[in-house]
Amino acid sequence: MESEAGSGVSGAAMRLIATLMRLTGAFSHFVEDRAASLRASWKQELRRTASALVYALVAAFFICSAAAWGAFALMMAFWETHRVLVASLLSGAFLLLAVIVLLLLRRDTR
């Protein structure tokens, strides 16, 4: 009788261990799946950020080109009558834009 009780406890312990092993395996698969999903989304987000940075740099180049050509056109148009005024106004406008951008950068990095 004692051996039956002992084997019953031993059998219950073995079933508990087997259940814990299956649970551990399921948890391990869950963690691996989540890690793979996280890696995939991280790579996608990195590609998206790199693409946005390239587009931003290209846009900045064209904006600077447009500003330079616009300033050149204004100076050509008013060269004979108001050359110092136009050059000063353009310089002040570019300086004001630079200060605004620096203030925005400072706000965003804090």
Average pLDDT, the chain: 85
Pairwise CA distance, residues 105 & 12, whole Å: 65
Task: Name the band, by pLDDT with cuts 50, 70 and 90, for residue 1.
Answer: very low
Pairwise CA distance, residues 66 & 9, whole Å: 84
The SS3 call for residue 66 is helix
Give per-residue pLDDT as tens, 76-102.
888 888 888 888 888 889 889 888 988
Pairwise CA distance, residues 80 & 109, whole Å: 45
Task: Name the band, by pLDDT with cuts 50, 70 and 90, for residue 3.
Answer: low
Q: Measured between alpha carbons, how far apart are the two ends of the chain, in Å?
A: 75
Mean pLDDT of 50-71: 88
